[in-house]
Amino acid sequence: MTWLWFFAKIGVALGIIFSLGPVCIMGDRKISAWIQGRVGPNRVGPWGTFQPIADILKLMMKEVIVPDGVDKVLFLGGPLIVFIAPVFGYCVIPFGNQIGEEKLQVVNLDIGLLFIMSVLSVGVYGITLGGWASNNKFSLMGSLRASAQLISYELTFGLTMLLVVMMSASADPLKSASVDLSKIVLHQAEYGWNIFGGATWWGLPSGLIGFVLLFTCAMAENNRLPFDMAECEAELVGGYHTEYSGMGFAMYMFSEYCSMILSASLIVTLFLGGWSFPYLTDPADHSFLAGVISIGVFFTKICIILFLYIQLRWTLPRFRYDQVMSLGWKTFLPLALVNIGYMAVIGVFLEKP
């Protein structure tokens, strides 16, 4: 039975990521079309819904061109690395409430947050190595930018996660100070979402700032548009994936959407109450129906975040590389530190647990 549950959970988790991935690609194309007064893909299947399948088929059938003078192992391995990272990360995301005794989470790690942090940093290796191995100046620049940018934003990312942990710690000693993602969600379900400051009213500014910081940093980590320094098609032609074609390119592209989904899940989990929704889900209700509803809530929240991602991409111009860096180091990092300081000081002095 346990194994059955295990595989079922893996199925759901992979299902989310692999079904949302194409949906995301499709959504990106459709939403951009709507914003731009176009129709978008509308040929394959009803309303063009099978377009991602056609895309994938096309990319699979295309030749994988290996340019002259590349490091073949890294060139072909880069896309794999970048693709594995988000899938691993998804192991620890709680995508629903408990059903019976089973938590809807593939692996219920106590150190879920840390696991995600480490897995997320793996992705940059794929980009950096792939870009370097391409033997192309634009790719090299793209991968350099990517690594520098990811490292810079990882700091803020981590600090914001710390904020969440502190928020989770503030109320109930029994469910406190945990880096266990399921506990963080449970805490929010019980006391209120972290974006609104968790359990306390004075946490509101901190929660909002934290959410914005995490959202932005996630965008930067995923190389989405205002921060897509690594691809930056107007400057670097395609950045790290300039030389990729066929499946290599497909994996880079797909992994971008997968990590979008992962970070959307993370944002939802950390700030938007995960699978919980007031009056709709009850943390104590462990019935099958409630579990399914919680999955649906989680799914919906991810979709909203993804939509925001996509809309932002088609709204904003992109930063310049040095502006991204200085934004990360000079604005976000101090802001995150102040935010944590505020949380820590107020939390310690006002709300002694």
Residue ranges in contact with another protein by CB under 8 A: 31-39, 42, 137-138, 141, 212, 225-226, 228, 232-237, 311-312, 314-323, 326, 330
Task: Decide if 232 contacts 223 (C-beta within 8 A).
Answer: no
Task: Decide if 45 contacts 51 (C-beta within 8 A).
Answer: yes
Q: How far is the CB of 155 from another protein (least distance, A)?
A: 19
Separation in Å, CA 164 to CA 72, 217, 271, 298: 42, 15, 8, 18
Measure the CA–CA gap between 127 and 116, rounded to whole angstroms: 18
Residue placing its CB nearer to another protein in the complex, 92 or 267: 267
Q: How far is the CB of 323 from another protein (least distance, A)?
A: 6
Q: How far is the CB of 318 from another protein (least distance, A)?
A: 3
Task: Decide if 159 contacts 333 (C-beta within 8 A).
Answer: yes
Question: DSSP characters for 42-110?
Answer: -SSSGGGTTHHHHHHHHHHHS-----TT--HHHHHHHHHHHHHHHHHHGGG---EEEETTEEESSS--T
Residue placing its CB nearer to another protein in the complex, 39 or 284: 39
Q: How far is the CB of 137 from another protein (least distance, A)?
A: 5
Angle at CA of residue 156, ends 341 and 252, nearest 5°? 165
Measure the CA–CA gap between 340 and 336, rounded to whole angstroms: 6
Task: Decide if 215 contacts 157 (C-beta within 8 A).
Answer: no
Q: How far is the CB of 139 from another protein (least distance, A)?
A: 12
Separation in Å, CA 124 to CA 64, 69, 118: 22, 22, 11
Residue placing its CB nearer to another protein in the complex, 19 or 323: 323
Residue placing its CB nearer to another protein in the complex, 235 or 285: 235
Residue placing its CB nearer to another protein in the complex, 154 or 228: 228
The tokens for 289 are 């129906």
Residue placing its CB nearer to another protein in the complex, 120 or 213: 213
Separation in Å, CA 241 to CA 18, 131, 249: 21, 7, 7
Residue placing its CB nearer to another protein in the complex, 186 or 306: 306
Measure the CA–CA gap between 118 and 325, rounded to whole angstroms: 21
Task: Decide if 52 contacts 69 (C-beta within 8 A).
Answer: no
Measure the CA–CA gap between 16 and 14, rounded to whole angstroms: 5
Q: How far is the CB of 136 from another protein (least distance, A)?
A: 11
What does the radius of gyration of the chain's CA atoms come to, in whole angstroms? Answer: 21
Residue placing its CB nearer to another protein in the complex, 70 or 165: 70
Residue placing its CB nearer to another protein in the complex, 17 or 214: 214
Q: How far is the CB of 319 from another protein (least distance, A)?
A: 6
Q: How far is the CB of 198 from another protein (least distance, A)?
A: 22
Q: How far is the CB of 312 from another protein (least distance, A)?
A: 7
